[in-house]
Chain A
Amino acid sequence: MSTGAQIAARAVDGAGLARRDHRGRGASAAFNGLMYGAVTISVLALGVLLYDVVKDGAGAVDAQFFQNQPSKVRPETAGAQSAILGTVYLMLITAAIVIPLGVATALYLEEYADRTRWWNRLIELNIQNLAAVPSVVYGILGLAFFVRAPLSLGSVLLAGGMTLALLVLPVVIIVAREAIRAVPSSIREGSLALGATQWQTIAKQVLPASVPGVATGVILALSRAIGETAPLLLIGAAASPRFNPDGLDSAFTALPVQILTWSTDADQESFLPLAAAAILVLMGVLLLMNSVAIWLRHRYEQQW
């Protein structure tokens, strides 16, 4: 060291500011190593999966894939139109059911319910539990009550939509509650102090302010629903239908079911690229939905 640096070092030392080797350093390094290791493993696993799928399916994603109907026998001319449309319609029906139900329930629980009453506490407890129930159970529920008596809808789009709606309803309720709760009470107080009724306050202040949160939550819930296979199988989604769904009471299929069909049912290996392509399309849709959710959150995020 030069004399200048030596003097500086001594000054630092004298003031008790010098770096000291402490026992924690070794532990810190080890922990850092562990963290990075974990991240690497996760990313690697995902990367390998993606690579595999892209390798198999990239070639099959073409115009034909979107225009043609699926088939179990002839891979060269098969497409996934009915599955894609089925998925789209299912999402629409699910959203149409789950948004009003979920938001209204969340509103009731947050704004009107008296927490001290036992039935309200029971409702809250149940919602927490239902969010964790495996999707297969919802499938059985749908099969028992929607497809068969008492509703006897049959294995149709509406039944599928209703089942998926029930599946994601707890999540939507929880998310909507969070969004409503995030609106500070000072806003409610300010509105009430102006002579607004509770409903006016909710309709004109609380709900509009919670829309971004609710929208984000709904999109995330839907992106879970879009990938659910077990419930649809139990409902009785058709395998490789050669027609598009033409109404609420129509037979249907969805991308996850079609992927399953092509991966397992079909005889030849040549269907595997189609399956991979369907996976890619599904993931693309998921990515799009999540991006929209993130964009929504950033754009309308309220700094209270």
Chain B
Amino acid sequence: MALQARQHFAEELLAVQGQALGGIDIVVMQIERVTEALEHQDVELAALVVADDDLVDGRYLEVHQRILSLFALQAPVAGDLRIVAALLHVIKHVERMGDQCVNIAKLLPLVGHEPPVQQDMLDRLLRMGRTARVEAQQAKLAFAGRDVALAEDLARQDRELNALNREVFRMAVDCGGDADTREWAMAMTMVARAYERIGDNAVDIGEQVCFVVTGLFREFSDSSHPAGPPAPVNDL
């Protein structure tokens, strides 16, 4: 029986990673459900999404605790350290994605059971939901496979999501009409924004993939610098 050094640690690390990425699975499910609830104005499904956020929060606490344990007991360094630090970020983003799903779900009952739906806006929102779901799933695959190319592709997909967000906003501004319609439109802009935030979180997970593999932290796109990244801070 060969005794591999730090076998126990390697297994534990793999387990924590599995738990963190499993959190993404839960979030993917939440995105699907909340998008379906949006499509069919299903208030009960929305309530289920809100309730199930406990699963995401619970997963966050578990992973967080295990990571603290790894730091304290195993003193990871180099590559292992980057993985553990990245997982801490990943699970935070997972938790935020879950919260955004809850935000969307909570908006649905507010607009009543028969809201004045503008179909083209709704179409765009459903497209955003599907894109967000794909992004989340891709982020998980990129991390699990340490796939930098796949991670960088997330930035491309996210630009689509941003574009859709801006369209929804434009359409809401232009929609006019009575108070109910305008109220619905404003609620939908908030839904769009929530989807856009989910996408951003997925991109952030992609950045962690890059960090783990290369040891360098790079912002794929920075909302404060739409024309490109800032020049390096020091001339090194």
A–B: direct contact at CB < 8 Å = no
* Residues on A facing B (Cβ under 8 Å): none
